[in-house]
A and B are shown apart, each in its own frame.
Chain A
């Protein structure tokens, strides 16, 4: 079973919820995939013993200047403006390249082949019964999606897979949540939280992934998130009140379910409820 944890707005508590869920399911083999590769944080809480660490590379074009006639067909073809052909030189902007391979296909003199280009890393390890894998985008590289794809390639059958998604509502989120059996949307009961939750629900509806909502800091703000969810028939799976203790533990990367074990049961119940909703 694959459960992803997402939110339109950043900082609503995705990592808090996904880490707590992973730590609460004790007798289960769990795989935790942190797909927030721009700012991966879950490993700070789960503290895995690292045993995998490797580079994530993409293919970018390499031009053989001897064969190149500077016809510009490659540059005209490239949708991402990653190739600039001047009369004497071809310049490749690897950070803009989407690795589609089209430039090599359209080159009439076979002057283009491809080389590997590092865009980040993939790191993995064990934390008790939890296998943790996360991606880390190299600073100044713009493309997160290929790293998310690489992390998700490791998705293990037979385990409960928990995916920590990046914030927002564009391509990295789609890549992270797609093919999940269920998605938990974490929100806070504020106008910002509600606005971005609405956007996130549209993404999940398009992808046809069933979802429910966890309201974090549930006693702050107003009641509009509840009104929205009840009008749309979206289940509210759990409410986590704002407690200074939770915030303090979070600030020290101590998972609050370890210090406040009564919460483990609530997260176990959350999991049971998700199973029930999927099988309904």
Chain B
């Protein structure tokens, strides 16, 4: 089984629009949305949900006021400033570490597991899709990404699908790290802006750190062709294949508004042609 993840350091470069189009072209690959904070792929692939599983995040402390003698040891030892002077827990600050429970002489602290989100196994016109939703404001999106990917592997094995396509999240932090471990290729979608280049470089070091084969595609390349050249040179120096350059075309947003992958919405557009080319190059590698 092969896995390819689509990433971008900077947000909004077009990861999801591209993954949705890949889902159409690849036909029957297992598609995974690992941007669990702000998942959007379902808006294009229109899945019908087959199975739902709850995700439990970190524990949350609760102090029983009847037992508490207000000794203050918990406040003193909490490194997250999650306990106020009235011995109440701030759920946004508590990281569920358990220290307050360990130091409490009265055993006044209990911990509850909290439902922090959901994972879905769904069916779309184009094959199976595994996605998730973290409840707004929750912690541990990395863990939810790992759980989502695990379900995707199981589903792919059961259905004997040889390919998993993963839509990643922006950044380089815990959820990105969780979405790149053990994948075969990382396709980085960048745009020809200075900030895009800056973020691409950081993402590239991350990909190298995890020894994953990097691939690049430049979206809206004609917004600044000078910067596009810069990216191409950067990639040439590092021996990273640039699989394609997608032109700016409002048809992408139009497709999104109509809830369809752009290659399906506008099969004749220049964007579709380029995405097809990119996919055929990925296919050769796989």
Contacts and interface: CB of A to CB of B under 8 A. Distances in A.
A98 B95 CA distance: 8
A276 interface: no
Contacts of A36: 171
A221 B177 CA distance: 32
Contacts of B92: 174, 178, 206-207
A139 B11 contact: no
Interface stretch (A62-70, A84-92, A191-199, A233-241): A191-199
Contact of B37 (A106, A170, A191): A170
B134 A169 contact: yes
Give the size range of A's interface with the partner: 35 or more
A36 B10 CA distance: 10
B69 interface: no
A101 B79 contact: yes
A139 B206 contact: yes
Nearest to A42: B195
A221 B256 CA distance: 8
Contacts of A171: 138-141
Interface in B158-173: 169-173
A252 B206 contact: no
Contacts of A250: 193, 195
Nearest to B136: A202
A50 interface: no
Interface string A98-129: 11111001100000000000000000000000
A194 B136 CA distance: 15
A106 B11 CA distance: 42
B103 A251 contact: no
B10 A41 contact: yes
A172 B79 contact: no
Interface in B135-160: 136-142
Given A38-B173, A100-B79, A105 B199 contact: no
B136 A220 contact: no
Contacts of B141: 168, 170-171
Interface string A245-263: 0011011110000000000
A3 B72 CA distance: 34
Contacts, number: 191
Given A10-B12, A39-B170, A102-B99, A251 B259 contact: no
A264 interface: no
Interface in A164-215: 166-174, 178, 188, 190-192, 195-196, 199-200, 202-203, 206-207
Contacts of A195: 38, 40, 43
A38 B172 contact: yes
Interface stretch (A23-31, A140-148, A155-163, A265-273): A140-148
A11 B11 contact: yes
Given A39-B171, A143-B174, A247-B223, A192 B198 contact: no
Contacts of B38: 8-10, 167-169, 195-196, 199
Nearest to B141: A170
Nearest to A142: B174
Contacts of B79: 99-101
Contact of B195 (A188, A191, A199, A253): A253
B269 interface: no
A9 B136 contact: no
A202 B171 contact: no
Contact of B199 (A39, A169, A173, A247): A39
B96 interface: yes
Contact of B256 (A106, A192, A196): A192
B38 to A, nearest CB: 4
A167 B10 CA distance: 9
B14 to A, nearest CB: 9
Given A98-B95, A102-B102, 20 more contacts: A8-B38, A10-B10, A10-B38, A11-B12, A38-B9, A38-B170, A38-B176, A39-B171, A102-B98, A102-B99, A144-B173, A168-B175, A169-B134, A178-B92, A190-B253, A191-B40, A206-B137, A221-B256, A248-B223, A253-B195
Q: Which 4 A-B pairs have the closest CB atoms?
A: A10-B11, A11-B12, A100-B97, A168-B37
Interface of A: 8-12, 15, 36, 38-39, 41, 44, 77, 79-80, 98-102, 105-106, 137, 139-140, 142-144, 166-174, 178, 188, 190-192, 195-196, 199-200, 202-203, 206-207, 220-222, 244, 247-248, 250-253
Interface of B: 8-13, 16, 37-38, 40, 43, 58-59, 77, 79-80, 92, 95-99, 102-103, 134, 136-142, 169-177, 191-196, 198-199, 202, 205-206, 209-210, 223-224, 227, 250, 253, 256-257, 259
27 contacts: A8-B37, A9-B12, A9-B38, A10-B38, A39-B171, A39-B172, A77-B98, A79-B59, A98-B95, A100-B95, A105-B77, A139-B202, A143-B173, A143-B174, A167-B11, A167-B37, A168-B37, A170-B137, A171-B140, A192-B16, A196-B38, A196-B40, A202-B137, A203-B136, A247-B223, A251-B196, A253-B195
